[in-house]
Amino acid sequence: MTNTLYDALIAPHAENNAIFLTLDDGTDISYKSFVSRVAQIAHVLTDAGIKPGDRVVVQAPKLMDTIALYGACVQAGAVYLPLNTAYTQSELNYFIEDATPTLVVCDAINEAEITAICGGDTHVMTLSKDGNGSLTTRADAQNTGFPTVPRGPDDLAALLYTSGTTGRSKGAMLSHKNLLSNAKSLTDLWQITRDDRLIHALPIFHTHGLFVALNTSLLAGAQVRFMAAFDIDTVIDEIPSSTLLMGVPTFYTRLLGDARLNRELVKNMRLFVSGSAPLLAETHTEFEDRTGQRILERYGMTETNMITSNPYDGERLAGTVGYALPGTEVEITDNGKPVAPGEIGMIEVRGDNVFLGYRNMPEKTAEELRENGFFITGDLGVKSEDGRISIVGRQKDLIISGGYNIYPKEIEDVINDIEGVLESAVFGVAHPDFGESVMAAVVLEDPKLCAEAIATSVEPKLARFKHPRRYIITDVLPRNTMGKVQKNVLREMYSAIGSG
């Protein structure tokens, strides 16, 4: 019996003594010991009664055991559901209610809160920043061999929530095939091998840090310098002994802001990859001038994994996201009909990388995933004669701040619920570090309400990175003749004052 992802990513390393992870304290974790740890945690899962297809919610720090827990879910046939560690209790409430997990793994500091949300039906185990917790204690006592649960290509491997334009997060259901096909395409295209050493400074609760970075490393047997978070000094220190960096544009603007970045520093680096947000052409050019290396920009989504990439060998063009990945079709359409090269349209994508649908949301799934298999991304693009894609805008109302996606509707709903608020519009303005940052224009019903009071009400409801950095109290929101709020006008009006 086979297990699509486990057999490809983890099983081959059972006797591999090479280093998989190097942690911040200098500890090396071999591939072989990682495989054993995965098995130990898989035992913990089945001992807790987890069955194939059950969801395991994970809001845990970035640790070796957190990745082993991902591997264990794959091996035990469970569905891995990672959550941003910044999410508040009220955000967690929704995810837990929607996903109905059998187990939630969290930092011990959140255990009481999460146990209260779960009620009695769900197991709660802990995994804290120091690496201790009830999950690890249980795992330590387990056998290092585990009978892998069979799972096929179309079985669910992960459920990743992505905020929506309607304000409600949608659980994107990703199959073993979705994840493996993408990992294979990227590993081939970017020529990742066991000789590589990846600087891993991304969070592991999103596609970029979890699947793009770790699935490709596992597939290739590469070494990973596993950092708890992005820290400029650590990254600079590790560059000379590494070959690969995957990051969001903020990583690159921060590197450019550091005088130590030069040709000599990066001479052993083979590839710098950027994604999750638009990389400014000037960042691309400045990086090449300083280092002699051209950043490779790629484009993806939670629902589709990676869609396009600039070539490894060949022209990496600033301001473009490259060609459709092998096995992935990309069309630029007008209402589903392909438009001519050079014309702007909706980016649609089809392939083994495209998810199965949104959990519990058949109508949303039908709206965004066509019967012919094409997924409507909400991004606007153009395709050149030779198939190179450039993203020129977004039809969806979305702010990308430091690589995190923030949907204005979700924030507007929270602000509009505050007593004394008539209406609000949340929009993004340019930010030198994060690319974009969040601002809110608010029309009051109660003139006594002030920006500080609104901020205080928003605070416990939304993760910190979603908080508007500035509130503008205004008499009226600019609207077009259809009555739609003109966010471009707000952006123009308030860009100059900045978001603070």
Binding site for ligand AMP (CB under 6 A): 162, 275-278, 297, 299-302, 321, 377-379, 391, 394, 400, 405
CB neighbours of residue 334 within 10 Å = 11
Shortest Å, Cβ 299 to ligand MCA = 6
Which tokens in the block code for residue 233?
Answer: 């000094």
Nearest to 101 by CA among 152, 47, 54: 54
Partner whose binding site includes residue 248, from ligand AMP, ligand MCA, none (CB under 5 to 8 Å by kind): ligand MCA
Member of 175, 242, 302, 365 binding ligand MCA (CB under 6 A): 302
Shortest Å, Cβ 345 to ligand MCA = 20
Shortest Å, Cβ 496 to ligand AMP = 24
Instruction: Give, for 145, the enclosing helix (H) or strand (E).
Output: none
Query: Which residue is it, tokens 């004394």?
Result: 420
Partner whose binding site includes residue 403, from ligand AMP, ligand MCA, none (CB under 5 to 8 Å by kind): ligand MCA
The smaller minimum CB distance to ligand MCA, of residues 41 and 261, is found at 261
Q: Does position 300 bind ligand MCA by CB under 6 A?
A: yes
Shortest Å, Cβ 227 to ligand MCA = 10
Q: What is the DSSP letter of 88?
A: -
Beta strands in 275-411 (DSSP E): 296-301, 305-309, 323-324, 328-334, 337-338, 345-351, 357-358, 375-383, 389-394, 399-401, 404-406
Q: What residue number has its CB nearest to ligand MCA?
A: 402
Which tokens in the block code for residue 199?
Answer: 């600087």
Partner whose binding site includes residue 394, from ligand MCA, ligand AMP, none (CB under 5 to 8 Å by kind): ligand AMP
**Separation between Cα atoms, residue 229 and residue 202, nearest integer Å:** 6
**Separation between Cα atoms, residue 460 and residue 137, nearest integer Å:** 32
Shortest Å, Cβ 303 to ligand AMP = 7
The smaller minimum CB distance to ligand MCA, of residues 171 and 209, is found at 209
Query: Do 325 and 309 meet the contact criterion of CB atoms below 8 Å apart?
Result: yes
The smaller minimum CB distance to ligand AMP, of residues 23 and 86, is found at 86
The radius of gyration of the chain's CA atoms, rounded to the nearest angstrom, is 23
The 3-state DSSP class for residue 91 equals helix
Partner whose binding site includes residue 321, from ligand AMP, ligand MCA, none (CB under 5 to 8 Å by kind): ligand AMP
Beta strands in 155-230 (DSSP E): 156-162, 170-175, 197-200, 223-226
Partner whose binding site includes residue 377, from ligand AMP, ligand MCA, none (CB under 5 to 8 Å by kind): ligand AMP
Partner whose binding site includes residue 469, from ligand MCA, ligand AMP, none (CB under 5 to 8 Å by kind): none
Partner whose binding site includes residue 351, from ligand MCA, ligand AMP, none (CB under 5 to 8 Å by kind): none
Shortest Å, Cβ 246 to ligand AMP = 12
Shortest Å, Cβ 403 to ligand MCA = 3
**Separation between Cα atoms, residue 218 and residue 351, nearest integer Å:** 22
The smaller minimum CB distance to ligand AMP, of residues 278 and 408, is found at 278
Q: Does position 381 bind ligand MCA by CB under 6 A?
A: no
Residue 359 to residues 141, 239, 240, 363, Cα–Cα distance (Å):
35, 40, 44, 10
How many Å is the maximal CA-CA distance in the chain?
69
Shortest Å, Cβ 431 to ligand MCA = 8
Nearest to 167 by CA among 380, 495, 426: 426
The smaller minimum CB distance to ligand AMP, of residues 196 and 436, is found at 436
Provide the CA 384 distance to its chain's centre, in angstroms. Answer: 28
Partner whose binding site includes residue 337, from ligand AMP, ligand MCA, none (CB under 5 to 8 Å by kind): none
**Separation between Cα atoms, residue 409 and residue 128, nearest integer Å:** 33
Residues 221-260 that bind ligand MCA (CB under 6 A): 229-230, 248, 250
Name the segment binding ligand MCA (CB under 6 A); options: 91-99, 201-209, 340-348, 449-457. 201-209
Shortest Å, Cβ 435 to ligand AMP = 10
Q: Does position 403 bind ligand MCA by CB under 6 A?
A: yes
The smaller minimum CB distance to ligand MCA, of residues 54 and 412, is found at 412
Query: Which residue is it, tokens 């790629």?
Result: 298
First to last CA, the chain: 56
**Separation between Cα atoms, residue 391 and residue 375, nearest integer Å:** 16
The smaller minimum CB distance to ligand AMP, of residues 400 and 421, is found at 400
Member of 164, 275, 357, 468 binding ligand MCA (CB under 6 A): 275
Residues 464-493 that bind ligand MCA (CB under 6 A): 464-465
The smaller minimum CB distance to ligand MCA, of residues 231 and 413, is found at 231
Partner whose binding site includes residue 209, from ligand AMP, ligand MCA, none (CB under 5 to 8 Å by kind): ligand MCA
Provide the CA 488 distance to its chain's centre, in angstroms. Answer: 26
Query: Do 357 and 365 meet the contact criterion of CB atoms below 8 Å apart?
Result: yes
Partner whose binding site includes residue 297, from ligand MCA, ligand AMP, none (CB under 5 to 8 Å by kind): ligand AMP
Query: Do 219 and 187 meet the contact criterion of CB atoms below 8 Å apart?
Result: yes
Which tokens in the block code for residue 364?
Answer: 């949303």
Burial bucket for residue 26 (CB in 10 Å: 0-12, 13-18, 19+): exposed
Q: Which residues bind ligand MCA (CB under 6 A)?
A: 202-203, 206-209, 229-230, 248, 250, 275-276, 300-302, 401-405, 434, 464-465
